[in-house]
Amino acid sequence: MGDEKKVDVAANAAAFLEQDEVHEPMHDKNLWAARMHRDAAARAVPEWEELRKIASQIKEHTLTHLPDYLREFENNALKRGAKVYWARDAAEHNQHVWDILQEKNIRAVIKSKSMLQEECGMTAFLEKRGITVTESDLGERIQQLDDQPPSHIVMPAIHKTPEDVAQLFARSIGTDPGNTDPHYLTEAMRNDARKRFLEAGAGMTGANFAIAETGSFVVCTNEGNADIGAAVPPVHIASIGIEKLLPKVSDLGIFIRMLSRSALGTLATQYTSHFSGPRRGGELHIILTDNGRSRRLGMPDFWTSLKCIRCGACMNTCPVYRRSGGLAYGATYSGPIGIILDPTFDESRYSELPYHSSLCGSCTEVCPVKIDISDQILKWRKVMAAKKYLPVSRRLAFGAAGRIFEHPQLFRSAESMASGALRFTPHFLLYNKVLNPWGRHRELPHFAGQTFREWYLQYRAKNNDHGEQHT
């Protein structure tokens, strides 16, 4: 970690914004629609805010007693016949998967969507060793065929138009490039995937929740692909992040009610599948994976990010994410939740992400488990500034701004000078691609002829005069 090149999130966002006049408005519109559906679903539950409070408390309790619940989960999963592995990091996770596949002489795997497996770079790891990995979630499959990571936690290909998908499927599975009908495209991919389910030696899933009390886990999908992947091949491998634990089955109902409502505004996912041990004649392998989570749990300002249930609500509401697209973040996790998760994996590589936010706080307001996302983004900015990850030019600019804001007289002088200078500064300097890339998309507002302070002093003086005349 730390050796990879820093993500240039501004350049990536510009590439998405400037590609045409179709993608960005469509992306913004679709995600805002998801936000509106979420709001309607939340309003229909009178106890919604109480549910958020309880969900947050359950998660915080679990995280502060995590070793106990992990041991309880392991013991109960073993009793049910599952094999349980522990992975400290991505390398150990991938090695466990590889060892299982080698032992069974498995050369093809069908997998459902798992952000943890994305985080571990598992597909690339297996493909280098000759394993064929096929994504079974439609959005993930689209991204895999296009050699792109998911751009959204719940809707991996939300940044693509039907025309993009039609062209991609035409190149990869031979469909009609001019047919953009979603039903036609979905059916074509379903037919292509069916034979892959039958050929796979193992099915891989993640888990939305793992229950310590029973040693079971739950996978929520809308396509049923995880169920087929777990049921058809003889071997089921589940990758579970250690933060996914819940103490009891009775806790689950709260999170099931909140997950899909927060994600898409639907009452529940189409499939909520419970896995409690291997099916008859099959094998169930569970890999409990840390990969930096223990370290994050020890970070006073950032440990509550582990409460995240991966609903994507913060992404749907974020004005920056909706306009820049998920691939701009250059990371497994994007949007507001990505901004606070990704630096825990690599501070240097993701040091620009905390500045990719308006700090409006909307992400915090919609989070179903009450993570203080916007506050954590601000704290990450302080970390990046303290460790001098900012470019020298920005450090100098922020330093100068800080000194000006600290001294009222200096601020008023700068305000007066800037107002005058802007009237005479050539346009090409104000909206220069290098000096001011943000200026390419917007004009600076004109300074008012009078500042609020000047108006207020004038107003007060005038009223004082009137008061003296009346007395």
Digit-coded pLDDT (tens) for 230-283: 888 999 999 999 999 999 999 999 999 999 999 999 998 899 999 999 999 999
Torsions phi, psi for 108 (to 5 deg): -135, 135
**CA–CA gap between residue 150 and residue 113 (Å, rounded):** 10
User: CB-based contacts of 103: which residues, under 8 Å, 6+ apart?
Assistant: none
For residue 221, count other CB atoms closer than 10 A to its CB.
Answer: 21
**pLDDT digits 0-9 by tens, 191-205:** 988 888 889 999 999
Residue 144: is its pLDDT beyond 90?
Answer: yes
- In this prediction, residue 245 carries a pLDDT of 97
Q: Report the pLDDT value the prediction gives residue 463, as an integer from 0 to 100.
A: 83
**Residues 195 and 255: beta-carbon distance below 8 Å:** no
Give the other-Cβ count within 10 Å of 74's Cβ: 18
Q: Is residue 448 very low, low, confident or very high in pLDDT (cuts 50, 70, 90)? A: confident
pLDDT-derived band at 443, boundaries 50, 70, 90: confident
For residue 286, how far is the Cα from the chain centroid? 24
Helix (H) or strand (E) holding 400: helix 392-406
User: What distance in Å separates the CA atoms of residue 271 and residue 228, rounded to the nearest whole number?
Assistant: 11
Asked if residue 368 lies in contact with residue 262, where contact means CB atoms within 8 angstroms, the answer is: yes
pLDDT surpasses 70 at 441: no
Alpha-carbon span 53 to 254, nearest angstrom: 11
Confidence of residue 322 (pLDDT cuts 50, 70, 90): very high
Q: State how far the Cα of 128 lies from the Cα of 16, in Å rounded to an integer.
A: 30
What tokens appear for 443 in the block? 């004009």
> Would the pLDDT of 419 be above 80?
no
Q: What are the sequence ranges of the domains in the chain?
A: 20-296, 409-465
The answer, yes or no, to whether residue 113 has pLDDT greater than 60, is yes
- Please give the average per-residue pLDDT across 438-443, as a whole number: 67
Instruction: Give the other-Cβ count within 10 Å of 245's Cβ.
Output: 25
The distance from CA 58 to its chain's CA centroid, rounded to whole angstroms, is 22
Q: Which of 87, 146, 309, 338 is nearest to 218 (CA)?
A: 309
Q: Which residues contact 108 (CB under 8 A, 6 or more apart)?
A: 131, 132, 133, 134, 196, 199, 200, 201
pLDDT top residue among 96 and 281: 96
Residues in the chain: 471
Residue 329 DSSP code: G
Cα 72 off chain centre by: 29
Measure the CA–CA gap between 153 and 262, rounded to whole angstroms.
13
Per CATH, the number for 20-296 is: 3.40.50.10420
Strand, coil or helix: 289: strand
Residue 123 has pLDDT above 90, yes or no: yes
- Highest mean pLDDT among 194-203, 303-312, 394-403, 435-444 belongs to 303-312
Q: Is 50 exceeded by the pLDDT of residue 1?
A: no
pLDDT for residue 466 is more than 70: no
CA distances from 50 to 197, 259, 263 (A): 42, 15, 18
Q: How far, in Å, CA of 43 to CA of 41, rounded?
A: 6
pLDDT, average across residues 340-369: 95
Q: Give the C-alpha distances (Å, rounded to integers) separating 138 from 11, 148, 237, 345.
A: 28, 14, 20, 28
Which of 116, 13, 123 is closest to 441 using CA atoms? 13
Residue 437 confidence (pLDDT) above 80: no
Q: Which helix (H) or strand (E) holds 108?
A: strand 108-111
Which residues partner with 379 through β-bridges? none
Asked whether residue 36 carries a pLDDT value surpassing 50, the answer given is: yes
Query: What strands, in cross-sheet order, belong to the sheet with 245-246?
Result: 245-246, 209-211, 216-221, 271-275
As a whole-number percent, the residues of the chain with pLDDT over 70 amount to 95
Strands 283-289 and 83-87: parallel
Amino acid 187: pLDDT: 93
What percentage of the chain carries pLDDT values higher than 90?
72
